Amino acid sequence: IFQFLLPSRFPSMRQKDLNEMSLDLIFETVRDYYLRRNKSEDLPPKKRHEIWTELDDDQKLAYEQTLESGRTRIRQLINGVPEIQVRKSIFGLIQNLKGICNFSPHKSYSPKLTALVELVEGELEKGRKILIFSQYLGNGIEKIYPEIERFGCVQLVGNMTTSERNRVVAQFRKNDEIKLFLGSLRATGIGLNLTSASIVIHFDHWWNPAVMWQAEDRAHRQGQTRTVDVYSFWVKDTIEERI
């Protein structure tokens, strides 16, 4: 890139010569154009907590049926279709099982949601604002929101316009009556400053933890003055334990 933009500083070189350049020399050459942001060491700590629940009877039945039918389909596919299609079926099965860990397909309540409401009530009594993340809409945000709306809640999902996003963020930051921010993980995970919150709750879990760390850091960034408590909800004896 710098050879193209600034050939006087980076004269044309063979690939071999470029590979042999030291990192120190490269850094010195591009120093005037190089910006690196380091997280402030003055930030308060981030503390992690785990909350474990169990599947209710409806979830257990749905989980076992989904797992068995998924395994049967994968066995049928293994020798008859390209490997990529088998992988897609496996990942699809895993996603379905993870969704059932949140809610039974036919119910809008679950042990996870009970634990969430209890945690929210306790932390709101301490005067703290809360971020809640889920990767699911139908098996996540759409079932969570009706149960916590009464506490003062805004939500942010991927299909919202920029103006809608800005309005939701401003409400959460400036309105003391809005205590909860419920967001889909990918839509909320980057680019927002939500330091008015000091509690982060992961209702479910992405495979790549870095995606979740980015979401947590909406609260754990410059401007935060309180310890940030991060709660992760897990379901025993399910795919979530393997995550």
Structure tokens at 240: 């979530």
Taking 80 as the threshold, does the pLDDT of residue 200 lie above it? yes
Alpha helix positions (H), 13-56: 15-20, 23-30
pLDDT of residue 122: 95
Using a pLDDT cut of 70, give the percent of the chain over it: 97
Using the predicted structure, report yes or no on whether residue 17 has a pLDDT greater than 70: yes
189, 216 contact by CB (below 8 A): no
pLDDT over threshold 90, residue 130:
yes
Q: How confident is the model at residue 41 (pLDDT cuts 50, 70, 90)?
A: low
Is residue 40's pLDDT more than 70? no
The C-alpha atoms of residue 17 and residue 208 are separated, in whole angstroms, by 36
Mean pLDDT of 151-165: 91
180-199 tens-digit pLDDT:
999 998 888 667 889 999 99
Q: How high is the pLDDT of residue 199?
A: 97
Q: What is the mean pLDDT of the chain?
A: 90
The pLDDT score that the predictor gives to residue 201 is 97
Mean pLDDT of 210-218: 91
pLDDT digits (tens, 9 = 90+) for 57-77: 999 999 999 999 999 999 988
The residue count for the chain: 243
> For residue 54, what pLDDT is reported?
97
Q: Mean pLDDT across the stretch 17-40? A: 77
Contact 38, 216 (CB under 8 A): no
pLDDT band at 237 (very low <50, low <70, confident <90, very high): very high
Q: For residues 97-102, give the mean pLDDT.
A: 96
Integer Cα distance of 155 and 132 in angstroms: 9
Residue 18 has pLDDT above 80, yes or no: no
Q: Supply 18's token pair.
A: 């470029």
Alpha helices in 12-130 (DSSP H): 15-20, 23-30, 57-78, 83-102, 111-124
The dihedral region occupied by 90, where left means phi > 0, alpha psi between -120 and 50, and beta the remainder, is alpha
| pLDDT range class, residue 207, cuts 50, 70, 90 | confident
pLDDT at residue number 24: 86
pLDDT in tens, 42-61: 789 999 999 999 999 999 99
The pLDDT score that the predictor gives to residue 152 is 95
Long-range contacts of 58-61 (CB under 8 A, 24+ apart): 58/104, 58/106, 58/107, 59/100, 59/101, 59/103, 59/104, 59/110, 61/104
More confident residue, 48 or 83: 48
